[in-house]
Amino acid sequence: MRDQFKTNQLKYKLKSMKNFKYQSFIGASLFVLALAASCKSEFDKVIPGAPQVNTGVDYKVPKVLYIIADGARGTSVRDAESVNIKSLIGNSIYTWNGLADTSKINATNWADMITGVKKEKHGVLTEDFSGNRLSQYPAIFQRIKSVNSKIRIATFAASSVFKTQLTGGADVSEALPNDEAVKSRMVDFLKTDTASLVLGEFSGVQIAGNASGFDNSFAPYKAAINAFDTKVGELLTAVKARPTYAKENWLIIITSNRGGKFTLPANQDDKTVFSNTNANVFTVISNPSFKNTFIGKPFLGNSFAGAAVRYKGNPEKTQGLTSAFTSPNFNFGDKDFTVSVKIKKGKTKNTSRGDYFYQWPSVLGKRNQAGWGSGNPGWDICLFYNGWRFFGSGGTGFGDGTEIGGGDFSGDTWHDLTFTVEKKADGFRYMRLYTDGVKGVTNGSRNESSYSGPGGSPQAPVNVELKLSGQPNFDNNAPLRVGFSDGEIDGDFGNINVSLAELKIWKAALPEAVIKQYSCDPTMDSSHPFYDYLVGYWPLNEGTGNVMKDKAGPYTSDMTLQGTYVWESFSDLLCSPSVTALGTLVPKNSDLPAQILSWFNIARQDSWALDGKVWISN
């Protein structure tokens, strides 16, 4: 069963996830956005100012100037003089907090910007482009030519590998020795050439960043940004000086392929992808018909502060346990119950598969040890890849148990994991899993001995509840536990490094609306509609000592800390959206080809499988 689960987890490519909590906060800001879906009919929505086809009306010819600055951190460009770039923002869709791929690889980000798909599709994972799938996901220039071969395209690059690998379909493709040569060639080209899409790739900012550091506090880096800005000014002047300019409709796109390494001051580090200086880019999309449309950072989560134990795996084996006397109170037989806990993942010992990639370790449960086996009744919340799973066994007709995958969640910020078990009128028990209040199952399609239900993936959880087979019963004599458990642990990938808080157990299956409303609250009080159903509430925030108090419910079932432990103060975010979800809320590199297609009134085809969206002026 595990092999099938693992295969199902890995076989899907990244897609966008949504998070209910932050959506309610950013609704007002989303009026500036519109998503161009992959089907033709919806993609016919084009940017204001783009010409309508087949109308018989004389219109200005659409043109695009696409300028890429390698290594230009978005906030550094914002805080530098950048007078020419900033001169456009009165008629622009713009952000200083756009997102690049987090890989730190130029080639990956260039490919995003030129193909309109992400690395999971184009396969550009190294600077030498080895193993790429650009034949399946070619440069947008080839897509344009396949629809309208008359559109003339020219590219000029400071990087020879950019020219060699990513300019297929261009009528003119030149590599030049440095930024000054790129700018001079483009200025001369723009004087008379009829090309409708002109691209320039500049490397000077990144060269300066590599030599000094990627922040304006390093004088060479700031100087390089301003030197690039001066070149932008000359290119804008060249466009406006064209003898045919009055008959042309220019879309100006100025952006960076990625940022660069810099350690932010502590008060600026929100622990989300927006504090990843390598992924921080700026994007300016400008046309005289556009209104000023600023896209700032979206809502990133609720504030959450306090103290928590850092639970470690072997050799520390940090755990908190209820007493043998009170533990039976958390056996529910065939009755309904709900468990909810706040968790913050730290980096795993082996980060070769990602900083927060775990395999199988339990972080919370009521069971003698984690793992399969009908003779091992109970339940666990375990970490699984970049997400989590419910793991349970025991009862009649339930086989060796089941694992049900929950959604992915980011590391180093707090998240809420909740599951409900409910017995319905048909006599069967049903499970629902919620990640930050959003219901979703990530297992593949199942119809096995443990449960049945439609399939999902980590990138596209399915909003379903699952019907458990047989008559599962999780009762046992084990203590309720937070932290380390023996059992299934995959070496360093299974060595936990987590903080836990706000553990709550109810003798009821909480309704979905209640979970959505309260899962991202940082505390619990009597105003909660199911407060009287609590059988245990442990804030887990004492900050000192070895006893963690049960603050609600009838049993006063305190937990005692075992093993090696450290209390740590924290002030973080709770329910921060995933990187994938955040990427739908600000411009990202793979959006720009879609923007260009829209400007040329080219409806993208389903077979292109583009990942980008079109941003619309307010």
How does residue 131 score in pLDDT terms, banded at 50, 70 and 90? Answer: very high
Q: Give the model's confidence band at 617: pLDDT under 50 very low, under 70 low, under 90 confident, else very high.
A: confident
Picking from 416-425, 452-461, 536-545, 595-604, which range would have the lowest pLDDT averaged per residue? 452-461
Number of Cβ atoms within 10 Å of the Cβ of 171: 16
Give the pLDDT mean for 176-204: 98
Question: Which DSSP state fits 333?
Answer: T
For residue 20, the model assigns a pLDDT of 32
pLDDT of 19 above 70: no
Q: Sorting pLDDT into bands at 50, 70 and 90, what band is 374?
A: low
Provide the pLDDT for residue 31. Answer: 32
Higher pLDDT, 386 or 454: 386
Amino acid 462: pLDDT: 83
Q: In sequence order, which residues have a C-beta less than 8 Å from that of residue 222 and are 6 or more positions away? A: 76, 80, 216
pLDDT tens for each residue of 328-339: 999 999 999 999
- How sure is the predictor about 578, in pLDDT bands with cuts at 50, 70 and 90? low
Is the pLDDT at 487 greater than 60, yes or no? Answer: yes
Of the chain, the percentage scoring pLDDT greater than 70 comes to 87
Mean of all residue pLDDT scores within the chain: 87
Among the listed residues 418, 603, 443, 590, the one whose alpha carbon sits nearest the alpha carbon of residue 520? 418
Taking a C-beta distance cutoff of 8 angstroms, is the pair 395, 473 a contact? yes
| Rg (alpha carbons) of the chain, rounded to whole number | 27
Q: How far is CA 602 from CA 141, 150, 211, 288, in A?
A: 12, 13, 42, 21
Rounded to an integer, the average pLDDT of 307-325 is 95
Gap between the Cα atoms of 427 and 162, Å rounded: 62
Q: What is the pLDDT of residue 200?
A: 98
The mean pLDDT of 580-608, rounded to a whole number, is 89
What is the rounded distance in angstroms from the CA atom of residue 107 to the CA atom of residue 504?
A: 47
Q: Output the CA torsion 188→257→141→232 (10° steps).
A: -20
Q: What is the mean pLDDT of residues 475-495?
A: 90
Interval 133-184: pLDDT, tens? 999 999 999 999 999 999 999 999 999 999 999 999 999 999 999 999 999 9
Report the pLDDT value the prediction gives residue 466, as an integer from 0 to 100. Answer: 87
Which tens digits make up the pLDDT trace of 508-543?
A: 999 999 999 999 998 888 889 999 999 999 999 999
Q: How far apart are CA 611 and CA 38, in angstroms?
A: 8
User: Quick one: what percent of the chain has pLDDT higher than 90?
Assistant: 67
pLDDT value at residue 1: 40
With 80 as the cut, is the pLDDT of residue 126 above it? yes
Residue 490 confidence (pLDDT): 81
pLDDT band at 567 (very low <50, low <70, confident <90, very high): very high
Q: How confident is the model at residue 569 (pLDDT cuts 50, 70, 90)?
A: very high
- Indicate the DSSP class of residue 153: E
- Residue 469, pLDDT score: 84
For residue 583, pLDDT over 80 is answered with no
Residue 441: its pLDDT value, please?
87
Residue 544 has pLDDT above 80, yes or no: yes
State pLDDT tens for residues 93-111: 999 999 999 888 999 999 9
pLDDT for the residue numbered 242: 97
pLDDT at 421: 96
What whole-number distance in Å separates Cα of residue 536 and Cα of residue 506?
7
Supply the pLDDT for residue 9.
36
Confidence of residue 35 (pLDDT cuts 50, 70, 90): very low
Distance of alpha carbon 537 from alpha carbon 539, whole angstroms: 6
Query: Which pLDDT belongs to residue 133?
Result: 95
Between 43-52, 245-254, 286-295, the lowest mean confidence (pLDDT) is in: 43-52
Q: For the purposes of burial, counting CB atoms within 10 Å of the CB of 505, is it exposed (0-12), middle (13-18) or buried (19 or more)? A: buried
> What domains lie within the chain, and their CATH numbers?
61-129+139-300+578-602 (3.40.720.10), 308-574 (2.60.120.200)
Q: How far is CA 81 from CA 71, 184, 488, in A?
A: 17, 22, 55
Rounded to two decimals, what is the model's pTM? 0.63
Could you tell me how far CA 413 lies from the centroid of its own chain?
Answer: 13
